[in-house]
Amino acid sequence: MLSCKELVAHSSEYIDGQMKLRRRLSVRMHLAMCVNCRRFIKQLRLSQAVLRRLPRGQSAELDELAAKLAEVHRQQH
């Protein structure tokens, strides 16, 4: 059976539908038994969906926003 580490390594292929049948079945079997990897894949899909909705050409503004959010997070913890 696929390990969590292997699932993470191949998660992009799985999400993008670029995985061969045998590997895809291994991933699905692992996901059926591993709640943490199901959460990981769900978060990956959510992140991908959010990124697709962002307007193009605003990477500098997004980088600045990410830096500000990281700073706020550091100050809170």
Residues 64, 61: Cα–Cα separation, whole Å: 5
Task: Write the DSSP assignment of 4-43 as a string of letters.
Answer: HHHHHHTHHHHHHT-S-HHHHHHHHHHHHH-HHHHHHHHH
Q: What is the CATH number of the domain that holds 61?
A: 1.10.10
Q: What is the DSSP string of 53-69?
A: HSPTT-HHHHHHHHHHH
Distance, CA of 3 to CA of 7 (rounded, Å) = 6
The pLDDT tens digits for 31-76 are: 999 999 999 999 999 998 888 887 776 667 778 888 888 888 788 7
Task: Please tell me what DSSP assigns to residue 77.
Answer: -
Domain encompassing residue 32: 4-76
How many domains does one find in the chain?
1
Give the global pTM: 0.68
